[in-house]
Amino acid sequence: MKSPLFLFLNNLTFSYKNKRIFSNFNFQAEFDNILLVKGDVGSGKSTLLKLIYGYYQPESGKVSLSCENNKTILKKYFIHSNSSFNFVTGFIKDEMNLLGVVDVQMNLDLDLSKHISEYSGGELKKIAVNMALALDSNVIIMDEPFEMLDDNEVIKVKDAILDAVSKYSDKFFIIATHEDLLDEYADEILYLK
Ligand SMILES: Nc1ncnc2c1ncn2[C@@H]1O[C@H](COP(=O)(O)OP(=O)(O)OP(=O)(O)O)[C@@H](O)[C@H]1O
């Protein structure tokens, strides 16, 4: 049986220079598959994902992710809204080797040997999402996975996420999105104002 993932945000305070984004913010969720983070433009969704991932440290307060089953080691992977940040080596193949991804799951129909500057934003997004799904990470944090994709690709990415959720008992998704298409599948939705 699947052990849920717990997210606790306790009195979280975070600012960029002089701009306060979270002030003693509290939230907790227990979820089996998908936690969505939604809200207006600039409400702090990306910032919160980066705090959850650990890119940023809060000024005060605490972020914690834990699994009821303490034996499960939480390996996190972050998909940036600008997917070029996911390919620090500059090359898809090198990144895959670095992360130990043998093959991407979906039929991408793309030449993966080029430099990242030679792909469109949507192509990079597709590759990044599929790379994340092919990794053995169990906490996949996605910042706007549907951005820059056409309708057809949006459905493919949505289906790939739902497929991973049904296939693997140990994968959890924390997804920031403006789209409504995962709402009905989410265990919980955090709305930021
Ligand atoms: N690196 C940064 N330095 C300074 N301010 C920043 C930085 N990143 C974000 N901000 C500011 O913090 C606020 C929250 O930004 P964030 O990107 O978290 O919002 P968001 O909800 O993800 O927005 P969007 O819906 O446009 O993606 C915004 O006002 C933004 O201008």
Q: Going by CA atoms, what residue is nearest to atom 24 of ligand 1?
A: 41
The verdict on the CB of residue 15 being under 6 Å from ligand 1 is no
Please provide the CATH number assigned to the domain covering 33-44+72-192: 3.40.50.300
Span 74-101, mean pLDDT? 89
The verdict on the CB of residue 46 being under 6 Å from ligand 1 is yes
pLDDT digit string, tens, across residues 51-83: 999 999 999 999 999 987 766 678 999 999 999
Rounded to 5 degrees, what are φ and ψ at 27?
Answer: -160, 145
pTM: 0.94
Q: Residue 49: which region, alpha, beta or left (left: phi > 0; alpha: psi -120 to 50)?
A: alpha
* Predicted ipTM > 0.95: yes
Position 104 pLDDT exceeds 80? no
Token look-up 């994709």 returns 149
The verdict on the CB of residue 126 being under 6 Å from ligand 1 is no
Span 181-185, mean pLDDT? 96
Q: Going by CA atoms, what residue is nearest to atom 26 of ligand 1?
A: 41
